[in-house]
Amino acid sequence: MSKHIHSDEAAKPVAAYTQAVRAGELVFVSGCIPLNPETGELVSDTIESATAQSLANVKNVLISAGLDLEDIVKASVFMIDSEDYAGMNNKYAEIMPQPYPAREAIFVKGLPKDSRVEISVIAKAR
């Protein structure tokens, strides 16, 4: 049986999905774009600030599930511009605790609300 997870400290979903679902020991966090949860505005001045906001949203959803960033076992990062990879990776490495989880970076044609980055994760309960 699965349990839906919601955090008011993370950006609200922009479509028909839940922020996260817990299935057994695993928590699947939906893609988080860099929306500021207080203002609803997209953070996009730099890829670094966008990555930081996306990861803050991920973290706040995980906290609602009783988890944190160190519980992530797999991350997926979607970006619209390959030129943003280095900046995203530097900010990701600064925020994400080591040892880093498995990860892929995927370049796509577009993201919701014209975001530069979207991050989804799978975490494992302790």
Can you give the residue ranges of every domain in the chain? Answer: 2-124
pLDDT tens digits for 30-42?
Answer: 999 999 999 999 9
In the structure, what pLDDT confidence band is assigned to residue 49 with cuts at 50, 70 and 90? Answer: very high
* Cβ-proximal residues to 58 (8 Å cutoff; 6+ apart), any chain: 10, 29, 32, 69, 72, 119, 120, 121
Q: Which fold has domain 2-124?
A: 60s Ribosomal Protein L30; Chain: A; (3.30.1330)
* pLDDT tens string 51-73: 999 999 999 999 999 999 999 99
Residue 82 reports pLDDT greater than 80: yes
Q: What is the DSSP letter of 40?
A: -
Q: Is the dihedral of CA 114, 70, 124, 38 positive or negative?
A: negative
Buried residues in 77-87 as b, exposed as e (16+ CB within 10 A): bbbbeeebeeb
